[in-house]
Amino acid sequence: DALGEMRPAYYRLVVDWSHLQQSPDEPADLDHPETGCLRDVQPCAGFAGVRDQLRALASRQREGGWEVLVVISGTPEWAAEGAHGCERGGTESRSRPPVDAGVRAYRRLISDLLAAARKEKVELRYWSPWNEPNHPFFLSPQRERCDKDAPSAAIGPYVKLAEAMKAELEAAEGDQQLVIGEVAGLPQRRPKSTGISEFIRE
């Protein structure tokens, strides 16, 4: 109720692909239940997955406002590149960019999200290809060598995802817009991250 009283203009819908698709042979499960926790910090309120969020958003959009920005992150293990380059200790497959077969599955995820949105009568206007692509937790490695002056290794994979998303959005009905450069607040070049200006420029 308190959130409704705020009447937000925008809602950021984060889609964690790594939670939704455990196999390349099955489509992403948009009904996969979520704990409702942010980094396992209480309080938590579970919900019935992305489709449940779409239904809630459809209801809110009827009140006005609530424009949606869809943000995708988290590569499934089967879709991810192997370890290489300058990575932080403990880096998991969810942080690595998808291989070519994974990019094709990523396009299918976008198509499935658009189809679910049409069914639930919710408008998904804005789309970001990948969450904070200059941060090593979301896209790794950031550089092939652990040297801040080495070229960013995040640009190529991000451009590939942005082009895949752009093609899928343009092929779909409706007025979807690509939002690029949604980066983490990391202003400086570092061995394991890409600076904001560096990322946008490249």
Using CA atoms in the order 193, 160, 201, 87, what is the torsion angle rounded to 10 degrees? 10
Q: Please state the rounded mean pLDDT for residues 170-194.
A: 96
What is the pLDDT at residue 50?
97
Look at the pTM and tell me if it is higher than 0.75: yes
Locate 124 and state its tokens.
């998904």
- In angstroms, the CA 79 to CA 53 distance is 25
Locate 62 and state its tokens.
């009827």
- 120-132 pLDDT, tens per residue? 999 999 999 999 9
| 8 A C-beta contact, residue 182 and residue 131 | yes
Place of tokens 């979807």: 176
Using CA atoms in the order 166, 169, 170, 172, what is the torsion angle rounded to 10 degrees? 160
- 52-110 pLDDT, tens per residue? 999 999 999 999 999 999 999 999 999 999 999 999 999 999 999 999 999 999 999 99
